[in-house]
Amino acid sequence: MPLIPDDRLGELSQEEFARYSRHLLLPEVGLDGQRRLKAAKVLIVGTGGLGAPLALYLAAAGVGTIGLVDNDLVEMSNLQRQVIFSTRDLKRPKVAAAADRLKGLNPDIEIRTHNLTLGSKNALAIIKDYDVVADGTDNYPTRYLLGDACVFLKKPNVYASIFQFEGQATVFDAEKGPCYRCLYPAPPPPGLVPSCGEGGVMGVLPGIIGSVQAAEVIKLIVGGGRPLIGRLFLFDAWLMRAMEARLDKDPDCPVCGRNPTITELVDYERFCGLRDQSPEPIPSITARELKARLETDDPPQIIDIREPHEQSMFRFKGAKPVPFGQLVRRMGEFDTAKDLVFICKIGQRSLFAIRALRDAGYLGPMYNLQDGVNAWAAEVEPGLVAY
């Protein structure tokens, strides 16, 4: 059954007949399908690697209303894969730059921009006005937030994620199949799974997976084909291999199961362990403060927890390289009487590293380099290239 009821359908103009003629020739889409696309409202959360091709193809397909949620600015590193932006968009809000591009592609559609962070306080109010939610995010708190919100509002959630060379996509619809928590009941421990910003991603991969999302959205709106409800599409661009896994609804799911225990949105940062719940805060040190400390008679020991291939791009002089995965078993190499400063790319993994060492019983003083080696490159050694 199509998502868009007949009473919401309008007519197509002569220009729209010409624009969408290739859709109209498909009996599976046809005139009614195109009218449903025109009447549909789709919310895309995240206008990055996945959201870029997703938004472009939905705009080109004639989805009448597209909502864009993001609060980031366009950065140089985005341009390797976020094809909705160009160099002239640098430092612009992503939703504004994306809206301009989409209106240029299809001036007949409506673009709604939400230049904000989606959270428990605003998610339901924003999502309720849309027919479909497409998850183009890259963090666990927002994924769980969207998953739960879509169950509560009975909206289909077209989900995807990418990392390095691999991607996955599915459709979560608790009315017909599993929800996000059925697949991922609990988030991984903080720091275990690096983000694309830390682990990298092949530039074309989000284009492939984002296009899969767009196809799923179109099928849901038009009503036809076989949506990825109850199926997980897996793709490896490096090996050029695609697979499929079956997803079953969990009858004991705390959100969509027979006896749900989660009936409202929660604090997802805390749920995913990203908000420090320890009574003892983790001390940090800025790049400029670290520079000053290194010039004293008692400099701290720098522990570089990045992977070897990262260190080859940016070598921190005098640092002891100990990759994150080796930290706990090698903590006997550290001098508990000396201040340790942990460094990574952006200062996130190093926070988790300090927590892991604390949990393992390390008692020496530890500091986190705020904003990581990228801050050092920007504030102390401008000749070094941030990555």
pLDDT digits (tens, 9 = 90+) for 7-42: 899 999 999 999 999 999 999 999 999 999 999 999
**CA 353 to CA 31: how far, in whole Å?**
57
Domain co-membership, 223 together with 343: no
Domain co-membership, 340 together with 266: no
Q: Which of 196, 253, 256, 272 is catalytic?
A: 196
Q: Look-up: residue for tokens 């920007």?
A: 378
Domain's final residue, options 271, 306, 330? 271
196 — pLDDT class (breaks 50, 70, 90): low
pLDDT average, residue stretch 371-377? 91
In a domain, 25, yes or no: yes
| Tokens standing for residue 15 | 């220009």
Domain co-membership, 258 together with 299: no
Domain co-membership, 68 together with 144: yes
Tell me the angle at which helices 205-222 and 51-61 cross, rounded to the nearest 10 degrees: 40
- CATH number of the domain bearing residue 366: 3.40.250.10
The whole-angstrom distance between residue 363's C-alpha and the CA centroid of its chain comes to 35
> For position 269, what pLDDT does the model report?
83
> For position 382, what pLDDT does the model report?
82
Domain co-membership, 312 together with 191: no
Q: How many structural domains is the chain composed of?
A: 2
**CA 133 to CA 150: how far, in whole Å?**
8
Sign of torsion over alpha carbons 248, 211, 138, 357: positive
Question: What percent of the chain stands above pLDDT 70?
Answer: 95
**CA 31 to CA 54: how far, in whole Å?**
22
Domain's final residue, options 271, 294, 321? 271
pLDDT average, residue stretch 38-56? 97
> For position 275, what pLDDT does the model report?
64
Residue 344 annotated to the active site: yes
Within 10 A of 118 (CB to CB), how many other CB atoms are there?
23
Domain co-membership, 135 together with 36: yes
The listed range with the strongest mean pLDDT (141-145, 272-276, 306-310) is 141-145
Q: Which of 150, 179, 253, 344 is catalytic?
A: 344
Tell me the H-state helices in 184-261. 196-199, 205-222
> For position 162, what pLDDT does the model report?
92
Domain of residue 303, residue span: 284-379
> For position 311, what pLDDT does the model report?
79
Domain co-membership, 159 together with 306: no
In a domain, 384, yes or no: no
Domain co-membership, 175 together with 259: yes
Within 10 A of 121 (CB to CB), how many other CB atoms are there?
8
Domain co-membership, 374 together with 328: yes
Measured torsion, CA atoms of residues 187, 192, 193, 199, in degrees rounded to the nearest 10 = 160
Domain co-membership, 345 together with 239: no
Residue 256 annotated to the active site: no
In a domain, 72, yes or no: yes
pTM here is 0.80
In a domain, 1, yes or no: no
Residue 191 has pLDDT above 70, yes or no: no
Residue 210 has pLDDT above 90, yes or no: yes
- CATH number of the domain bearing residue 14: 3.40.50.720
pLDDT average, residue stretch 135-163? 95
Widest CA span in the chain: 78
Write out pLDDT tens, residues 301-349: 999 998 877 777 778 889 999 988 888 889 999 999 999 999 998 888 8
Domain co-membership, 183 together with 320: no
User: Which residue has better confidence, 387 or 319?
Assistant: 319
In a domain, 387, yes or no: no
Domain co-membership, 249 together with 366: no
| Tokens standing for residue 63 | 């989805």
Domain's final residue, options 239, 271, 303? 271
The listed range with the strongest mean pLDDT (57-71, 190-204, 238-252) is 57-71
